[in-house]
Homo-oligomer: A and B are copies of this chain.
């Protein structure tokens, strides 16, 4: 029996990036697709509590795989897949996203949130994005998806960890090797643009170009910039242990005594 892989994304089930991933995987794996019916960019890691979720069969470019579209978020799709159509997949692949997810962008990314949800559910996962938005070269990224999927069935990821993969938008011949990286930091300049509507009321658009703040070669940003595939291991335990140790040494300062309450309340 072929190992089961769940493919999801945040660009929607009809995205060419998802189709490219499925095409590269279906020969060797039992591929199940559960993806949003439409684009869900910058939804972050949200789950749907306030409305019922639907799941309908759909065709992914005529490929011979079971596929469903949902009205949920990427994180919803991961939970839906395991519960509506068991058994749970042995690997979750989120992508291929059109546009990079680097540095702290991963906190806003629906693509990454699906891999993070998989890690929360205890499933091995990776998110994969191509760092381009026009004339995107999906084929080298898709070939790497198939390679990484096979590898991750051998090299098991620890529980709670997943990989965030970014592929430079280059034809296969120009792509450089894969590099294991840490998260970089991006900065955004001029993030808001103020406008006035015809009735004289102000409104705002997010804008601004990212300026690459921490693009040293060992970061995801630096690797992709130099033409390398970037593979960043992420863990869902985001406790700051160094700060925990430092603050624990002066834990008394965080105390909450009766006197303190009375003092605050007496103002």
Across the interface, A113 reaches (CB within 8 A) one of B44, B151, B233, B251, namely B44
Contacts of A242 in B (CB 8 A): 235
Give chain A interface residues in 164-191, CB to chain B under 8 Å: 172-173, 175, 177-183, 185, 191
Please classify the interface of chain A as helix (H, G, I), strand (E, B), loop, or mixed, using the class held by over half of its residues: mixed
Across the interface, A192 reaches (CB within 8 A) one of B84, B250, B251, B256, namely B84
Q: How far is the CA of A202 from the CA of B79 in the complex (A)?
A: 16
Q: Are B120 and A104 in contact (CB under 8 A)?
A: yes
22 contacts between A and B (CB under 8 A): A45-B107, A47-B108, A48-B206, A53-B192, A53-B204, A75-B108, A79-B192, A83-B191, A84-B204, A147-B264, A148-B254, A158-B243, A160-B185, A173-B258, A178-B256, A180-B244, A182-B239, A233-B240, A233-B247, A234-B240, A235-B239, A235-B242
The chain A residues found within 8 Å of chain B, CB to CB, are 24, 27, 41-50, 52-55, 73, 75-76, 79-80, 83-84, 104, 106-108, 113, 116, 120, 139-140, 142-144, 146-148, 151, 155, 157-158, 160-161, 172-173, 175, 177-183, 185, 191-192, 194-195, 201-206, 229, 231-244, 247-248, 250-251, 253-258, 260-261, 264-265, 267
